[in-house]
Amino acid sequence: MCGIVGLLVKNPNMRDSIGELMMPMLIGMTERGPDSAGMAIFGAPVAKGELKFSLYAPSMEFNWQGLAHDFDAHLGSSVKISTQGNHAILISHLEAGTVRTWIKQHYPGVHVLSVGQSIDVYKDTGLPADVAARYDFSGMRGTHLVGHTRMATESAVTPAHAHPFTAGEDWCLVHNGSLSNPNSLRRKLQHEGILFETDNDTEAACRFLEWRMREGDDLHTSLQKGFEELDGFFTLLMGTKDQLALVRDPFACKPAVVAEHDDYVAIASEFRSLAKLPDVKNAKIYEPMPEELYIWKV
Amino acid sequence: MESLDLHQISVRELNQYLHQELPGKGITRLEILNPDGVHSIAAGMNVAVDIDIMGHGGYYLGGMNKYANITVHGSVGWGVAENMMSGSVRVKGFASESAGASGHGGTLIIEGDASLRCGISMKGIDIVVGGDIGNLSGFMGQAGRMVVCGNAGDGLGDSLYEAVIYVRGTVKSLGADARFEPMGDEDYAAVAELLARAGFSHDPREFKRVASAKSLYNWNADANQEY
């Protein structure tokens, strides 16, 4: 079991409080996922020609300024870095591949959680309330976000196995359910030169869909191929730089509820995570159908 | 009228009150405020009382109900009135998956749509749905009746036993061993009675009967697992 939440604010005045609005949604999913939690938030993009990288270090006392200093010294390119304990957002002019390779070579303990112009990712083990407090989720600002609370059923409880998973740029996915063929999917993608960081089933789905889109499929076509390739149960919630997308497996084995309001669209595994949203009484509440793709744009 | 607020007490405290303190108090009607999607509200009711739930409920609302008449002024999550024995549950909004699962008796009325697996393994419950029902509804229904005023999804009535399903709209597909059968006088009477109980004003003549072809009742070695 896991809990998923998503929030897209249509009212620009609510962008500064999106983190605060999301908090009861995430906390409401604690029973569905008490072992880890995470969030991907999409905010104002970095300047053209820049990319931002969400990084995770194994220690809350990690020397991020040291990393930034080494980065400047080795690559001759200055970076901006903002830190939040063991997480940091690094902004660079260099290409994603160059930055990833450098981090892997010089700081093998540091994980790149996301790359893009708009996306920040935070994830860690612990109760959702503790993880949210650790990284000040309530103070986050942006246009849309996806969150996840995890109850691990198929792979280890580590920060790397927590959701959201990302692939490519400005793309993330959270998953409630389990896949029965992640290993064959992973082998297939490895033949395409795609690298994996964990043995988690969701990572396989995430990289599969991102690979299809990189190959030219639109989201709809890639998910159609996903239905053919992914064997198992899933409610998937995906985020791109300007949209949220939701899909459920053909048997709708895992739940989802949507609240559409003039000011926002909110998605959660269960209504109890939507109950505290402002004026939710006047939102249109419905359950998404199996095998249908729902997309909401910023 | 007595009012219980789930912003003030936990669902465990609520249900302990309903089970242990309410019987014998002579209260005939009470309302539950701020359900906010909490699970198991008014599950296991063993006392005759009218309960109004003022908002959206979570999973297993009214499960195992025996004597209460429960009205939800909102929608509900999975397994509403699951394993109900008698009494009634009415949902003003929609019901999520497995509504009325394994219900032995009583009446479940859903004014909106019901999601997948509505009435799965029903064992005597009557279910009336004002809107549509999702895929795989009525799966392995053993006894009871389900009246659907809207449309049915895929695999309706798969592996039915003696439960009977009446559908007013379209059926996307029938499940294994389910078939359309002609409506008889008893069917029209049953539909009329259930519609009246639910307060829906459709003409019983608009309904089709779906029941078991009973070809799965006995093992057929020649079927080659193809049904």
The yes-or-no verdict on residue A52 having pLDDT over 70 is: yes
Q: What is the pLDDT of residues B143-171, one digit of tens each?
A: 999 999 999 999 999 999 999 999 999 99
Domain locations along chain A? 2-45+124-297, 46-117
A227 reaches B (C-beta below 8 A): no
- Residue B69, in any domain of the structure: yes
User: In whole angstroms, what separates CA B180 from the centre of its chain?
Assistant: 21
- Average pLDDT taken over every residue of chain B: 96
The fold for domain A46-117 equals: Alpha-Beta Plaits (3.30.70)
- For residue A23, the surrounding DSSP H or E stretch is helix A18-28
> Whole-angstrom Cα distance, residue A79 to residue B100?
59
Q: How far is B24 from chain A (nearest CA, A)?
A: 32
- For residue B137, the surrounding DSSP H or E stretch is none
Inter-chain residue contact A255 with B77, CB threshold 8 Å: yes
- What's the pLDDT score for residue A146? 98
- What's the pLDDT score for residue A262? 97
> Whole-angstrom Cα distance, residue A91 to residue B14?
52
Q: Report, as an integer, the average pLDDT of B113-122.
A: 98
The yes-or-no verdict on residue B227 having pLDDT over 70 is: no
Residue carrying structure tokens 């609520």: B14
Q: Report, as an integer, the average pLDDT of B212-227.
A: 82
The yes-or-no verdict on residue B93 having pLDDT over 90 is: yes
Is the peptide bond prior to B23 cis by the omega test (within 30 degrees of 0)? no
B98 reaches A (C-beta below 8 A): no
Q: Report, as an integer, the average pLDDT of A93-108.
A: 96
The yes-or-no verdict on residue B87 having pLDDT over 70 is: yes
- Residue B224, in any domain of the structure: no
Bigger pLDDT: B134 or B223? B134
The yes-or-no verdict on residue A235 having pLDDT over 70 is: yes
Number of compact structural domains in chain B = 1
The residue among A180, A150, A144, A154 whose CA lies nearest residue A163 is A150
B58 reaches A (C-beta below 8 A): yes
- What's the pLDDT score for residue B224? 74
Domain holding B139, by residue range, is 2-216
**DSSP secondary structure string, A261-288?**
-SSEEEEESSGGGTTTSTTGGGSEEE-P
Same fold, A2-45+124-297 and A46-117: no
Q: Is A172 considered catalytic here?
A: no
Inter-chain residue contact A251 with B135, CB threshold 8 Å: yes
> Whole-angstrom Cα distance, residue B9 to residue B63?
20
- What's the pLDDT score for residue B1? 84
Q: What is the pLDDT of residues A254-283, one digit of tens each?
A: 999 999 999 999 999 999 999 999 999 999
- Residue B87, in any domain of the structure: yes
> Whole-angstrom Cα distance, residue A121 to residue A55?
8
The fold for domain A2-45+124-297 equals: Glutamine Phosphoribosylpyrophosphate, subunit 1, domain 1 (3.60.20)
B209 reaches A (C-beta below 8 A): no
* A-to-B residue pairs, Cβ atoms closer than 8 angstroms: 47
- Residue B43, in any domain of the structure: yes
Bigger pLDDT: B105 or B221? B105
Cβ–Cβ under 8 Å, residues A207 and A222: no
Q: Report, as an integer, the average pLDDT of B79-97.
A: 98
CATH code for the domain of B99: 2.160.20.60
Q: Which residue in chain B has the smallest CA separation from A291? A: B135
CA distances from B68 to A56, A280, B20, B85, B90 (A): 53, 29, 14, 10, 11
The yes-or-no verdict on residue B226 having pLDDT over 80 is: no
Cβ–Cβ under 8 Å, residues A146 and A238: yes
A273 reaches B (C-beta below 8 A): yes
CB neighbours of A215 closer than 8 A, spacing ≥ 6? none
Q: What is the pLDDT of residues A15-47, one digit of tens each?
A: 999 999 999 999 999 999 999 999 999 999 999
The partner residue sitting opposite B96, judged by closest CB among A275, A287, A290, is: A287
Q: What is the pLDDT of residues A135-180, one digit of tens each?
A: 999 999 999 999 999 999 989 999 999 999 999 999 999 999 999 9
Inter-chain residue contact A272 with B38, CB threshold 8 Å: yes
- Residue B222, in any domain of the structure: no
The yes-or-no verdict on residue B223 having pLDDT over 80 is: no
Phi, psi of A148 (to 5 degrees): -150, 140
- Average pLDDT taken over every residue of chain A: 96
